[in-house]
């Protein structure tokens, strides 16, 4: 039997005369306007968008004007931080808006996922979006396809802009141009020439923080002191945190230098930032702006910060922590309190491994702080007395330290060898992809080249650290020479600041001598 198909025409529902006379409900219409910068032309564009859409919507008799939702100076790559946009979407989903007008897809969002997610969410509630520039209605059958294409193009545009901005910032870094977060940066403001300018009152607060720290106060104590004095924090708040104090103490910008690109943006869409741990270059600019803290004081504070971190000690009566080294076993000396509860109370120092169960030090020698302090005064005074000869000796040491020619030549050779090795590895992988090769031989070759590359990386890293150490010792020695040149009067008593600034370590040879190792490499012996 032959198959037959018959079309059943749908019945038309005839409305009663009364229904035909009912007025058609007006569409509730809103518009969204946004600009991404604070430039004058953009600001004008922002105002123009608001004026245009207000007049345009109100001119339509079939439309009911809901309002204009705006975001000024906000990024388009994500909708999370756009308050006006988010409020508009919430109102639309709540039934307050039927149609949203906006200038273009790029004004709506430059993130493809955000755009499509939002449009689909609105479509489920029969809410339409019209993109004027592209002439796209989201309810149109081709709307989503066109939006996907245009939104992807807008996202790529945003990526390009982000890359250009990043390039511009890094070019500024290379040129030594610094940018400070003035709003939350204590001590500086943006000057008329665009460079940092000292704020005297805030600078006094910075100096106070450094002075209190050198007096032996811990960051937590300093923060309490500042709050008690009613001194506002960098953010202008009454509350001070110890971490804020620590960041001020460690910030090289207070000595007039600047490390640029301490962090960088990892994703242009999320704007997520990451601390720079060597992934991208950093730039150190010396004398980039006026200093609040003298370089010598700043370096002294860094020495104390390092010492206190190592010894977990923030008490001024522990100045010798991490400084005294046992000449017998090489371990640090630690402090012990004798007669802690009576008038004979005193602090002595002895090898930390004196009573160790595993690697016990045979030395039973102990040392009193007063002995070390007296010895330091005598040794330093001898430096002042014979400072011309000492300076000449230090300068000879400095010449030897400064010469890194051989190490730098070796470093260039290693880096060149590493480049060749990586090139060979890439060629091997490429050849394996293009031609049929013995896979066992291929993997063996790759392992050989990878192992060589890793060994070269290790050697390069060690050599770079060696060069860096020599250069830091050279600077320390130069500072020491400068300080010694300025010293005129003999010490009459122990100076904690001078001790922390000048002494690298003191090696204790029991019952015999103390060897004072000054920063920069100079050593002087004191007979016990």
Q: Identify the CATH number of the domain in which residue 113 sits.
A: 3.40.50.1390
Classify residue 352: in a domain, yes or no.
Answer: no
In which band, very low, low, confident or very high, does the pLDDT at 374 lie, cut at 50, 70 and 90? very high
Domain residues for the domain of 517 are 368-527
Task: Compute the distance between CA of residue 78 and CA of residue 114 in angstroms, rounded to an integer.
Answer: 7
Classify residue 296: in a domain, yes or no.
Answer: yes
Residue 482: half-sphere exposure toward Cβ, Cα within 13 Å: 9
Over 90: is that where the pLDDT of 216 sits? no
User: What is the pLDDT, as a whole number, of residue 314?
Assistant: 43
Classify residue 353: in a domain, yes or no.
Answer: no
Sign (positive/negative) of CA torsion 236, 238, 242, 245?
A: positive
Residues 157 and 186 in one domain: no
Residues 242 and 148 in one domain: no
Classify residue 199: in a domain, yes or no.
Answer: yes
User: What is the pLDDT, as a whole number, of residue 65?
Assistant: 94
Per-residue b or e along 74-86, where b marks 16 or more CB atoms closer than 10 Å to that residue's CB: bbbbbbeebebbe
Over 90: is that where the pLDDT of 74 sits? no
User: What is the pLDDT, as a whole number, of residue 92?
Assistant: 93
Summarize the confidence of residues 384-396 as an average pLDDT: 79
Residues 156 and 225 in one domain: no
What are the pLDDT digits (tens) for 327-354?
A: 999 999 988 888 767 777 778 899 989 8
In which band, very low, low, confident or very high, does the pLDDT at 73 lie, cut at 50, 70 and 90? low
What's the N-to-C CA distance of the chain in angstroms?
A: 124
User: What is the pLDDT, as a whole number, of residue 205?
Assistant: 93
Tokens of 391: 């300076």
Last residue of a domain, one of 100, 128, 161: 161
Residues 209 and 134 in one domain: no
State how far Cα 4 lies from the chain centre.
Answer: 76
Tokens of 310: 């190592």
Classify residue 177: in a domain, yes or no.
Answer: no
Domain count, the chain: 3
Last residue of a domain, one of 308, 328, 350: 308
User: What is the pLDDT, as a whole number, of residue 278?
Assistant: 56
Which residues, 6+ apart, have CB-to-CB distance to 361 below 8 Å? 326, 328, 329, 331, 351, 353, 354
Higher-pLDDT residue of 146 and 187 is: 187
- Give which of 288, 259, 295, 299 is closest to 197, Cα–Cα: 288
Of 392-401, 486-495, 499-508, least confident by mean pLDDT is 392-401
Residues 452 and 513 in one domain: yes
| Residue carrying the six token digits 């609105």 | 122
Summarize the confidence of residues 207-211 as an average pLDDT: 90
Residues 219 and 119 in one domain: no
User: What is the pLDDT, as a whole number, of residue 298?
Assistant: 83
Of 154-168, 271-285, 482-496, least confident by mean pLDDT is 154-168
pTM, two decimals, is 0.40
176: left (phi over 0), alpha (psi -120 to 50) or beta: left
Classify residue 330: in a domain, yes or no.
Answer: no
Residues 190 and 145 in one domain: no
Counting residues of the chain whose pLDDT is more than 70, the rounded percentage is 74
Sign (positive/negative) of CA torsion 469, 473, 479, 483?
A: positive
Tokens of 286: 């010396």
Residues 205 and 288 in one domain: yes
| Residue carrying the six token digits 């922590």 | 321
Residue 298: half-sphere exposure toward Cβ, Cα within 13 Å: 16
User: What is the pLDDT, as a whole number, of residue 525?
Assistant: 92
Residues 521 and 438 in one domain: yes
Residues 432 and 399 in one domain: yes
Summarize the confidence of residues 1-7 as an average pLDDT: 69
**Averaged pLDDT of the chain:** 77
Task: Compute the distance between CA of residue 479 and CA of residue 394 in angstroms, rounded to an integer.
Answer: 11
What are the pLDDT digits (tens) for 44-55?
A: 566 777 888 899
Over 50: is that where the pLDDT of 15 sits? no
User: What is the pLDDT, as a whole number, of residue 101?
Assistant: 93
User: What is the pLDDT, as a whole number, of residue 280?
Assistant: 56
Residues 292 and 250 in one domain: yes
User: What is the pLDDT, as a whole number, of residue 470?
Assistant: 73
Summarize the confidence of residues 429-451 as an average pLDDT: 80
Rounded to the nearest 10°, the torsion over CA 299, 303, 304, 305 is: 90
Contact at 8 Å (CB) between 496 and 301? no
Sign (positive/negative) of CA torsion 481, 316, 313, 244?
A: negative
Summarize the confidence of residues 375-403 as an average pLDDT: 80
Higher-pLDDT residue of 16 and 88 is: 88
Over 60: is that where the pLDDT of 459 sits? yes
Task: Compute the distance between CA of residue 510 and CA of residue 347 in angstroms, rounded to an integer.
Answer: 17
Overall residue count recorded for the chain in this entry: 528
- For strands 283-285 and 258-260, give the pairing: antiparallel
Classify residue 441: in a domain, yes or no.
Answer: yes
Task: Compute the distance between CA of residue 169 and CA of residue 224 in angstroms, rounded to an integer.
Answer: 38
Residues 269 and 372 in one domain: no
Sign (positive/negative) of CA torsion 336, 338, 342, 344?
A: negative
Classify residue 333: in a domain, yes or no.
Answer: no
Over 80: is that where the pLDDT of 118 sits? yes
Last residue of a domain, one of 103, 127, 161: 161
Rounded to the nearest 10°, the torsion over CA 246, 249, 254, 255 is: -150
The Cα angle at residue 176 between residues 277 and 282, in degrees rounded to 5: 10
- Give which of 380, 369, 375, 376 is closest to 320, Cα–Cα: 369
| Residue carrying the six token digits 């400084």 | 323
Which residues, 6+ apart, have CB-to-CB distance to 315 below 8 Å? 216
């Amino acid at each position: 039997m032959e198959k037959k198909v018959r079309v059943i025409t749908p019945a038309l529902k005839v409305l009663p005369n009364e229904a035909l006379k009912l007025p058609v409900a007006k569409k509730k219409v809103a518009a969204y306007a946004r600009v991404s910068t604070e430039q004058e032309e953009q600001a004008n564009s922002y105002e123009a968008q608001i004026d245009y859409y207000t007049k345009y919507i109100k001119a339509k008799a079939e439309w009911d004007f809901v309002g204009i939702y705006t975001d000024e100076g906000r990024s388009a790559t994500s909708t999370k931080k756009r308050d006006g946009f988010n409020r508009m979407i919430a109102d639309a989903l709540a039934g307050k808006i039927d149609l949203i007008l906006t200038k273009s897809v790029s004004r709506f969002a430059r993130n493809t996922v955000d755009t499509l997610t939002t449009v689909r969410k609105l479509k489920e509630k029969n809410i339409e979006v019209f993109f004027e520039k592209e002439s796209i209605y989201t309810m149109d059958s081709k709307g989503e396809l066109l939006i996907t294409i245009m939104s992807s193009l807008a996202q790529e545009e945003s990526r390009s802009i982000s890359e250009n901005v990043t390039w511009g910032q890094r070019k500024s870094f290379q040129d030594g141009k610094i940018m400070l977060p003035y709003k939350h940066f204590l001590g500086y403001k943006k000057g008329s020439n665009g460079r940092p300018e000292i704020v005297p009152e805030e600078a006094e607060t910075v100096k106070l923080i450094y002075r209190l720290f050198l007096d032996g106060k811990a960051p937590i104590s300093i923060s309490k002191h500042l709050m008690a004095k009613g001194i506002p924090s960098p953010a202008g708040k009454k509350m001070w945190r110890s971490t804020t104090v620590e960041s001020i103490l460690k910030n090289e910008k207070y000595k007039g230098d600047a490390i640029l690109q301490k962090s960088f943006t990892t994703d242009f869409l999320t704007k997520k930032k990451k601390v720079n741990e060597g992934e991208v270059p950093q730039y150190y600019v010396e004398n980039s702006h006026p200093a609040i803290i003298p370089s010598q004081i700043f370096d002294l504070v860094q020495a104390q910060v390092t010492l206190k971190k190592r010894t977990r000690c923030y008490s001024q009566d522990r100045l010798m922590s991490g400084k005294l080294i046992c000449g017998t076993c090489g371990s640090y000396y630690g402090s012990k309190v004798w007669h802690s509860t009576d008038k004979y109370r005193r602090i002595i120092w002895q090898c930390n491994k004196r009573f160790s169960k595993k690697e016990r030090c045979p030395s039973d020698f102990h040392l009193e702080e007063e002995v070390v302090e007296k010895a330091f005064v005598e040794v330093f005074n001898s430096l002042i007395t014979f400072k011309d000869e000492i300076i000449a000796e230090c300068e000879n040491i400095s010449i030897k330290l400064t010469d890194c020619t051989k190490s730098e030549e070796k470093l260039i050779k290693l880096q060149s060898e590493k480049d060749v090795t990586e090139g060979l590895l890439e060629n091997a992988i490429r050849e394996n992809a293009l031609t049929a090769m013995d896979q066992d031989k291929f993997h063996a070759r790759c392992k050989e080249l990878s192992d060589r590359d890793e060994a070269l990386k290790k050697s390069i890293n060690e050599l770079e650290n060696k060069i860096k150490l020599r250069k830091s010792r050279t600077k320390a020695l130069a500072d020491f020479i400068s300080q010694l040149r300025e010293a005129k009067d003999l010490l009459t008593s122990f100076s904690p600041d001078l001790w922390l600034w000048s002494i690298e370590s003191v090696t204790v040879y029991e019952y015999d001598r103390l060897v004072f190792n000054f920063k920069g490499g100079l050593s002087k012996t004191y007979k016990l």
